[in-house]
Amino acid sequence: MHASIEITGAALPGLLSLPHSALWLTPLAVLAGVLTTVAGVGGGMLMVVVLSAVGGPKLALAITAPALLLGNLHRAALLRHSLDRRIAGLFLLGVVPGAVAGGLLAVRIDASALRWALVVMVAYAGARELGWVRWRPRARALVPVAGLGGFMTATTGAGGLLVAPALLASGLRGPTFVATGALLAASMHITRVVVYGAGGWLSRQVLIAAPIVALGVIVGNTLGRRLHDRVTPTLMTRLTYAVLTTMLALSLLGALAR
């Protein structure tokens, strides 16, 4: 079954054409790369929210899949000596099937459902950061939680909100947490690329925007690695709240405008 992507959003479709796309996609992707490399999560979801506001959630998911695949492969390569192969192998049993199921659903359901799913995941992210939600999966639930994370990555780009706590529950911290998370994210994104491609989502807009985003993420990864030890917890908290507030506002506007 093939599905075309209708460009629907608050901005003009021309923003996804060269040279306009390079002017705003590049700094967005750099910020996403820095955020994920420093904090471990968040950059991919930020890009999905912003791109969804411009061109709709389906186009946003399609563009970010190949871009984040390359970005996470680069991040995993930078931190390859910190990778926990045992934990990565275990989690792959969940994230890949979950991403397949989520991708198959995403190419079939209405865009409005994806918009509201994104709102829910952004709200969950905010509640978690504010301490309203304190959840850590038990050891026996790690693979199913990873599967749900793969599903949510393919439908909202927010699977890291579930995979990250599961990685923490498995004992990973610091560079090992970031490196292992990057490898798992890359596996989810390559699955998304295959499923989205089979669904007819690799349009001209996607092929134009994805390389720009990928390059920006890679630059952000490198910059984030240099900044990692210089970012204070206070600054990281302020940045996180600012990003979450922006994402919630954009996702709500996108959902309510339809």
Hey, what long-range contacts does 203-207 have (CB within 8 A, 24 or more apart)?
203/4, 203/5, 203/59, 203/62, 205/5, 205/7, 205/13, 205/16, 205/17, 205/55, 205/59, 205/63, 206/5, 206/59, 206/62, 206/63, 206/66
**What would the mean pLDDT of 86-103 be, rounded to a whole number?**
95
Predicted confidence at residue 8, as pLDDT, reads 45
Bigger pLDDT: 186 or 178? 186
* pLDDT at residue 145 is higher than 50: yes
Whole-structure pTM value: 0.83
CA angle at 50 for the pair 45 and 68, rounded to the nearest 5°: 45
- What are the boundaries of each domain within the chain? 16-256
* pLDDT at residue 11 is higher than 60: no
Bigger pLDDT: 13 or 250? 250
Tens-place pLDDT, residues 52-81: 888 889 988 998 999 889 888 988 998 899
pLDDT class for 190, splitting at 50, 70, 90?
very high
If DSSP codes are grouped into helix, strand and coil, which group holds residue 173? coil
User: DSSP code of 141?
Assistant: G
